[in-house]
Structure 1
C-alpha cells in the first residue's frame, strides 16, 4: 500500500465524515453539538491519514486507535442528537451501524498491523 487513500477503511471513514458533516450542517443543531460531532467525525479519516504517513506500524496503530475512539464519540453524539430530536431514530440507527462497521474494520486492521513482522 503506497497511499492512505487506497485503504478501504480510509475511504469508508472519509465518506462517512462527509455524510455526517452534511447532515449536521443544518441550522437545527446546537452549535456545541454540531462542532463536536463534526470534529469527531473528521478525526476518523484524518488520523488514519496522519498515522499512515508516519511510516511506522507502531505509530500507525496509535493513530488508528484514536480513529476508533473518535468513531465511538460520534456514536455517542448521534444518540444525543436522537434524544434531542435533531435526528430521527431510524437515521441514527443507520449511521451508528455504519460507524460500528468502520470501528470493526479499524480493529481488524490494528490486529493485522500488530501481528506483522515490522510492528
Structure 2
C-alpha cells in the first residue's frame, strides 16, 4: 500500500503527538525564550516530514528524515 498523504505516515503522527506533549509539559514554564524554542523545535519535526513528503524524489524525502534525526 503506497502512502498518499503525509498524514498517513506513522512517524509524522508520532511527531504530532510529541508536540502536544511538549506543549502540555511546558505550559507553566516561565522561561518564555526557552518555551518558544522548545515548542518550535518540536513542531519542526512534523514540518520537516511533511515538507520532505512533498518533494519529488525519495532522496529528497530521506534528507528531511536525516534532518529530523539531528533534532
> Normalising by structure 2, what TM-score?
0.86
The equivalent residue for 1:56 is: 57
**C-alpha distance in structure 1 between counterparts of 2:44 and 2:6, whole Å:** 15
- Give the length in aligned residue pairs: 69
- Structure 1 residue runs without a partner (length 5+): 71-119
- Which of 1 and 2 has greater Rg? 1
**C-alpha distance in structure 2 between counterparts of 1:12 and 1:69, whole Å:** 17
CA RMSD of aligned residues (A): 1.2
CA-CA distance at 1:40 after TM superposition: 0.7
More helix by share: 1
Deviations along 1:71-97, whole A, 9 cap, x unmatched? xxxxxxxxxxxxxxxxxxxxxxxxxxx
Kindly report structure 1 stretches of 4+ aligned residues shifted beyond 3 Å.
none
> Normalising by structure 1, what TM-score?
0.54
